[in-house]
Structure 1
C-alpha cells in the first residue's frame, strides 16, 4: 500500500481544523436557539455562568436586541474568552448572531420553525499546544458549550426515549471573516502559524432534523476546504510547513 501523499496529509489536517470550526459554529447556533428557552435577555448571563463552570471560559454580549414576542433573538458583539489554561485571551468574536423564528410553533407542538438564522464571525483564534490539531482551545470550548447547552436546556419528561424535536430552518447563513492559529501556547516555541482573512460564507435552505447532516454538517466542511484552497492557498502552505516541522522534530527526538 502506498504512503499517503503530501497533499492528502495536508488535506486531512485542514479538514480536522475546519471540522472544529464547523462544530463551534453549529454549537453557537444552538447557543442562540437556547435563548428561546432561557427567556431571551437573560440567556447570555446563564450561558456565561455555565460555560465558566464547565470550561473556565466566559461569554459576553455587547448588545442584546432580543424580543421574543416579535420572534427575534439578536446578539451583537458576542465574545468568548479562552479557558484559563491558555495564555491567549480571546477565542471568538462574533459580529452578529440573529435568529428570526415563529414563536407559536414552539407552543403548538410539531415542527419548530426558524425563518432566518445568521451567524457572522469576525475573528476566530485557535490556540494549541505542540500539536495544535489535537490539543487546542476550540475543543475545550466545544465541550464547554456542549455541557452548557445540556445543562440549561429543558429536561425531558420521564419515559421512553423520544424522537428528535422536529424543526425547520428556512435560511441559514454563516460567515467567518478572519482566522488566527497559534501553536506552542505558553512555551518558548509559541508561533503564529496563520493570521489572515478567510472570508468564508456558507448558506443553506430548508434544513430539518432529518437532512441536517446532508445540508449543513457535510457541505459546510467541504465548502470550507474548497474556500481555503481557492481563496487562501497561504493557509495550506502555512499548515504544511508547520506539520512538516512537527513531524521532523518528533522523528529526531524519537531517534535519540
Structure 2
C-alpha cells in the first residue's frame, strides 16, 4: 500500500502517487494498466517508454478510428470476397474497439474520480466485517479477470504466431508448401496479392498485430474494469445497508453516524 495524503484531505486533483491507496484499489489500477485501459492518471513515468505511452494514449482513439475506417473501406471495396475469407468479422469488432477507446480517452477524469471516491470509502473500512464483505464480492471476480487476461493473451499468441511458426517450418525446413497460411485478419485486404513469402507477407504479419493487440486489450480492459467497478459499488451498498441495520436508534449521537453513512453514499454518487 502506498503511503501519502491522509484520507480526509484527499482531493480529486491530487496525483495518485501522493494518495494512500487501499490494496484493492491499487490492484484495480494495476490490472487496468496491464490491460492498457487506465486513463485516470498521468503515472507512466518520465522515461522514454513512459513519454511514448503518454503520447500513444492521447492518440489511441484516433488510430483505432482509422483502423475501423480502413476495414470498412476494404470490406466495401472487396464485397462478397470479404465475406468468404472471414475478414468481415473485423468490421463490428473494430467499431467496438474504436467506440470503447474513444470513451476511455474522453472519460479518463471521470474514471479517476470514481476510483478515488471508492478508495476513500474503502479506507474508511474500520471493522473486519467490512473487508469481508468486499472480499466476498470480489474474490471470484479477481480470479475471472485474471483468467480472462491470460486466456485472451494465450489466444492472441496462438492465433497470430502459431500459423506463422507452422508455415515457416513447412516452407523453410521441408519445402512442403508453396504459399503461406491465410488467417482472417483486419488488414489483409489492403495489400491483396500472391500468397508468397515476399515483403508483403511479412509486412502484413507485423501490421495485423497492431489491431489485434488493440482488440485484445481494449475489450478485456473494458470488461474487467466495468465489472470490478460495478462490484466495488455493490459491496459499498451492502456495507451501508449493514451499517444502518447495526445502528442503535435509541442511542445518543446516532444522528452523527447516520450522517456519515449518508455522506459516504453522496460521495460515491
Larger radius of gyration: 2
Counting strand residues as a fraction of each chain, which structure ranks higher? 1
Task: Using CA pairs under 8 Å that are at least 6 residues apart, name the structure with larger relative contact order, 1 or 2.
Answer: 2
Structure 1 and Structure 2 fold alike (TM over 0.5): no
- Write 1 or 2 for the structure with the bigger share of helix: 2
Please indicate the TM-score interval, normalised by the length of the shorter structure. Answer: under 0.3
